[in-house]
Chains A and B, each alone.
Chain A
Amino acid sequence: MAETMVGSNPKPKYVRRILPLALTIVIGIALSMAAYLYTNEVERQRLESEFNQLATGRATAIRKEVDLHVGTLGSTRSLYATENVGRAKFRNFTSDTLKQYKSTTAMMWIPRIMAGDRQAFELGAERDGLPNFHIVERHDDNQFHLAGQREEYFPAYFVEVSGDYEIVLGLDASSDSAWLSAMVQARDEGRLVAAPSERTTARGANTDNTKDIIVFNPIYQIGLPRETVEQRRKNFLGFTAAIYRIGGLVEEVLKTFKSADIGIVVFDDAGPSGSTLLYGNALPPAAQADSGAAANMASGTFGFVTTFDVAGRKWSIAATPSTQYGSGKLFSLPRITLAAGLSFTGLLALFFLGLIRRTTQVEKLVTERTAELSTAYQQLKESEAQLIQSEKMASLGQMVAGIAHEINTPLGYVSSTVELLGERMSIVNSLLGDFESLAKMMTAPGTEDGGLERQFEIVSGKIKVVRSEGSVQETSQLLKDSIYGLKRIQEIVVGLKDFSRLDRAMIADYDINKGLDQTLLIAQNLLKNKVAVTKHYDKLPKVAGSPSQINQVLLNIIKNAAESIDKSGKIVIKTWRERGMAKVSVEDTGCGIPADILPKIFDPFFTTKEVGAGTGLGLSICYKIIKQHGGDIAVSSETGKGTTFVVSLPMTETMEIRKTA
């Protein structure tokens, strides 16, 4: 049975069960992914701003350092604000700077030599301790040659270098086109201007793959105006210049930062052929990244660029995160989120799976238990019916006991008398025979006197016996008693018939007062010799109901009243009408019902009798019967004084009566 119930509609049930599981998995994965993406983005933004902060710090430091370096070149103006700056004075002035600022690889004095003054200058240089001094220029063969003819020459004259850096003395700075434009700009604008420094200008330990820069600082004649370009060109003396190794400079700066996983690239944006890479601590190729996501982020998602002016040029510093950048902390939160989300989804799915299993088990159990319960209920109903039946049988048994006694007593003397009369009839019969003989003898001719006399003696002797000790009176008394006894038996039998008249059937004209009398007759055996019954009957209209059932109730109450009286007592039975109800009260002077059990007396199976002595159903059945008749049953009691039951039944004859169970 259980299986057919479960199996009757399996598909929707299966879907219904599996649906939460599937939904959990789908929604769980979706939510986990969304959370992953969201936290990833938040994390990325956080990392980006953190990175920007770090990059800004680095860029600022680089810029400061560049400014510092270039600033030292600017300070050479103060040198040239004095008269007669000679080689020694220049060396003296620059040596500290070169020592202090390691990335300054060279500082130079580059005077302007007009074409007419070239020879004098070269001679002067020889006098100044530079034998074979010539103004030279580098050609495409990477060899130095005497400088060609031109209006002005800008030979490197005082050259102070750091370390083993070398600069060819007399090299005409204006021979380098990139330098020349910077020099022109510097002269005309009266400020520092930088230019990329080709490595051809130097031989040295510039091992990194970055460019050097050269910065030109225009020097004008002291005391002469330099407000306009013309004035500046006219009073122009030459340049002080410095070469900076940008790679070294940037690396020095970066050394001061702990984290190395930021790639820094410095460009000079103002070059004639676009940007020139000045420095780049080139990042390892993306392929090295152990995490695709990190590589993705590092390569594309964020980077930092800032630009600033360096001696008339625009530089940009670009910072990019290395592939390792933040790999420790980077993206752990999103990953944890994802892992947690998926784990949670998994757990939830497992939970649902368990739930489904349990639900299946529970359903199976419920089905089983339901079957058990309905069986038990069926049995209970049957046993209740049996109990009600046995209660009926028990009270019937008691009644039968009483009624048997009531009937057996008259039956006893009637049957004894009838037997006795039978015996006596035989005496009368033989007497009659003797009489007959006597009569024959008297009428028959030739009878002896002696024989007649003997026969007469016999007859009179028998008459004496029959009459002796009041036999005749006694017999007639016994007959009267017997007639009385038979009437009594008839009464009881009729009473019984009335009492259980039309068992179960409803009639419209049940007479409560009559019912009470019938019940008292039946119960007489319980009341006799023990209880004095007083009746106060009011005139009552008939009520609708089942006589046998209502009588059963009245009998139960009267029986209880009688049983509550130990030796002797009284029962007062009253009937009256009150607010549309016919009322019956049965008041006894019995032992009463203790207050704690009074509320329970109508409960089924409640009994104060010994186990087996009563079913405990009597009053609960009474209650049911009266309720089914639309009436009510109430009780009040006082221990030691007595109990009063009041039964109310509706008087309306048209009242609809619910069918009894």
Chain B
Amino acid sequence: MATLQPNILFLDDEVRIVNALQALFRANYNVFTATTPREALNIVKENLIHVVVSDQRMPEMLGVEVLRKIKDSSPRTMRLLLTGYSDLDGIVGSVNEGEVFRYVNKPWNNDAIRLTIRVAAEAALKVAVAAMPAQPTGGALPDVVVLDDDNEIFKTVEAVYSKSAKVHRAINVRQAMEALENGNVGVLLSDLRVGKEDIGTFLKVLHENYPQVVKIVLTNVKDGEAVVGLINEGQIFRLLPKPPKNALVKLSIDSAMSRYKAFRSEPRLLARYQGEEIRGKNLISPHILDRLKTLRNRFVAAAH
């Protein structure tokens, strides 16, 4: 029976945290603990760890960095960040570098973290994962939607992909929906606020219904809490600052296309990107919500 239990690793430089977590999970999981990043990396090297939960501020290395290394060496491991205080840099790093499944604040709620870790562990058990290639391989590239009222962003993306992929321009949610409904969209590039529309909630609801579209956020909004919500509920792939650096945008879109292709070839992977229950879903108009549900059904139909 013990062998069927998922392996879970807790990393925190405060041993009492690790102790508390171990007490909480040891009944249902095979718990590993570490108080230094090095220790943790060694454990990951020697064991198939399904879920890792790391502190952010530690000597030697930041949690985000540890998670990036684990992502590279053990792509199957689901990564969670458990932090006492979140600075924006750390949050952005957890998206772009750590590609975390959840960003959890201390103090945590035992039931909530149990649920989160259960979901993570189940996803990790479901399918073995290879490292995602940085460039999409084989076949045509998916469409890209640029949802921004700043035409420069569209031009930049258009200039890069005009030959290889279709780039849609949307200056509001309605136009973005049209592109999603009519095209073979794999990547959505968007700000968090376009015109007067709150795109953040749209991205979360989109993820809930149509998770295979990989979402890149391009913004100068510096609201850490909002970004945490986008990670946990919307599973955004990248968060890039505005004005964007072209090379970074291209790199991000390439990786996003690669991930989209992985989703297409192995839909089970989507289990690894489940979002939390969305708060404030009612911010989205029912009409858009309906259209998103239709999209979901199309996806479900396509999967079968």
Chain A contacts to B: CB under 8 angstroms:
401-402, 404-417, 419-420, 469, 474-475, 477-478, 481, 484-485, 525, 528-530
Contacts and interface: CB of A to CB of B under 8 A. Distances in A.
A239 to B, nearest CB: 135
Contacts of A525: 57
A416 B85 contact: no
A163 to B, nearest CB: 122
Contact of B14 (A413, A415, A420): A413
Given A405-B84, A409-B12, A529-B58, 13 more contacts: A408-B85, A408-B107, A409-B14, A409-B17, A409-B84, A411-B107, A412-B106, A416-B108, A420-B110, A478-B20, A481-B20, A525-B57, A528-B59
B10 to A, nearest CB: 11
B218 interface: no
A478 B19 CA distance: 7
B137 interface: no
A401 B83 CA distance: 11
Contacts of B26: 469
25 contacts: A401-B87, A405-B84, A407-B84, A408-B84, A410-B14, A410-B16, A411-B107, A412-B20, A412-B107, A413-B16, A413-B17, A413-B20, A415-B108, A416-B110, A417-B20, A420-B20, A420-B24, A474-B23, A475-B23, A477-B19, A478-B20, A478-B23, A529-B57, A529-B58, A530-B59
A643 B284 CA distance: 54
B107 A416 contact: yes
A451 B74 CA distance: 54
Nearest to A484: B16
Interface string B53-97: 000011110000000000000000000001111010000000000
Residue of A412, A417, A481 most packed against chain B (CB within 10 A): A412
B5 to A, nearest CB: 13
Residue of B20, B87, B105, B109 most packed against chain A (CB within 10 A): B20
Contacts of A414: 107
Contacts, number: 75
B243 to A, nearest CB: 14
A181 B15 CA distance: 165
Given A408-B107, A529-B57, A485 B16 contact: yes
A402 B23 CA distance: 27
B37 to A, nearest CB: 11
A394 to B, nearest CB: 13
A484 B20 CA distance: 13
A527 to B, nearest CB: 11
A138 B82 CA distance: 164
B63 to A, nearest CB: 12
A419 B109 CA distance: 9
Contacts of A405: 57, 83-85
Contacts of B19: 413, 477-478, 481
Contacts of A469: 26
B254 interface: no
A402 B85 CA distance: 7
Contact of B85 (A404, A417, A475, A529): A404
A409 B83 CA distance: 8
B13 A412 contact: no
Contacts of A478: 19-20, 23
B110 A419 contact: yes
A284 B107 CA distance: 129
What are the 4 A-B residue pairs with the smallest beta carbon separation, nearest first?
A529-B59, A412-B106, A408-B84, A405-B84
B34 to A, nearest CB: 15
A223 B60 CA distance: 162
Contacts of B58: 529
Contacts of A401: 85, 87
B257 to A, nearest CB: 32
Contact of B20 (A404, A416, A529): A416
Contact of B24 (A404, A406, A416, A529): A416
A530 B83 CA distance: 18
A480 to B, nearest CB: 9
A525 B59 CA distance: 11
B21 interface: yes
Contacts of A412: 17, 20, 82, 84, 106-108
Contacts of A417: 20, 23
Contacts of A474: 23
A496 B58 CA distance: 23
Contacts of B57: 405, 525, 528-529
A344 B16 CA distance: 99
Nearest to A480: B16
Contacts of A484: 16
Contacts of A529: 13, 57-60
Residue of B21, B57, B58, B83 most packed against chain A (CB within 10 A): B57
Interface string B106-127: 1111100000000000000000
Interface in B1-34: 12-14, 16-17, 19-21, 23-24, 26
A363 to B, nearest CB: 48
A336 B108 CA distance: 105
Nearest to A397: B87
A220 B279 CA distance: 165
B110 A404 contact: no
A484 B19 CA distance: 13
B109 to A, nearest CB: 8
Contacts of B85: 401-402, 404-405, 408
A485 B16 CA distance: 8
B16 A411 contact: no
Contacts of B14: 409-410, 413
A488 to B, nearest CB: 9
Given A420-B110, A485-B16, A408 B21 contact: no
A487 to B, nearest CB: 12
A405 B19 CA distance: 18
Contacts of A420: 20, 23-24, 110
Contacts of A530: 59
A402 B56 CA distance: 12
B84 A406 contact: yes
B235 to A, nearest CB: 24
B137 to A, nearest CB: 38
B59 A411 contact: no
A416 to B, nearest CB: 4
A408 B109 CA distance: 13
A406 to B, nearest CB: 7
Contacts of A485: 16
Contacts of A475: 23
A645 B119 CA distance: 52
A408 B14 CA distance: 11
A525 B56 CA distance: 13
Nearest to A410: B16
B23 A411 contact: no
Contacts of B23: 417, 420, 474-475, 478
B269 to A, nearest CB: 31
Interface in B199-237: none
Nearest to A412: B106
Contacts of A406: 84
A417 B19 CA distance: 9
Nearest to B22: A474
B106 A408 contact: yes
B252 to A, nearest CB: 22
Nearest to B111: A419
